Structure 1
């Protein structure tokens, strides 16, 4: 009986630890604004993340913010096919961040949408 209780405790611990590690997030692309474009006095960073949940579903999202790994910023969902194929380039200008995907799609994010502490 004691052995059964220990085994149940081990299985429960493994299940809790596994569930606590989901959703699983992996950064699949990074870009930083050039030093010549300080925007509001700060550098900005773009990252695209691949998020996998327990059911095996995968989604993609981008965040643009003042810190490379900050949990806050300007968040944008990305269509799965565009995310899976990846980002080809990111061009930072005074007025926008233009993101080109390997699928041929382009996304323009106005600088006003991600600057100013968002």
Structure 2
């Protein structure tokens, strides 16, 4: 965490709130979008179907920081925890030592932790140095 090249800080102070009231959600409807916004390419989000219980996860292929290729099938018979993180997200950085501890504690018992940062670019964002 101390080797990060970027910092993030946000502070919010709630002064008035009501947890038991429904808010009018008309501002969240498509009809509230101003006419100058082009919705020609808009498609409502459709959640993908969940895998059935006890189904096998689909195979995937990823390259690590050393350009070695990994397939999900490489981990057959193991429990795999995939952690999606962003190196400049404070909550994500806080979870990294926890993931490392899980890995060290259970790696000899068939447990793998795979961290995926889909946002940062290896060279530009100095990912190697950050994870060292």
Class of the TM-score when normalised by the shorter of the 2 chains:
under 0.3
Q: Tell me which structure has the larger Cα radius of gyration.
A: 2
Report the TM-score when normalising by structure 1: 0.22
Name the structure, 1 or 2, with higher relative contact order (CA <8 Å, separation 6+): 2
Bigger strand fraction: 1
Report the TM-score when normalising by structure 2: 0.20
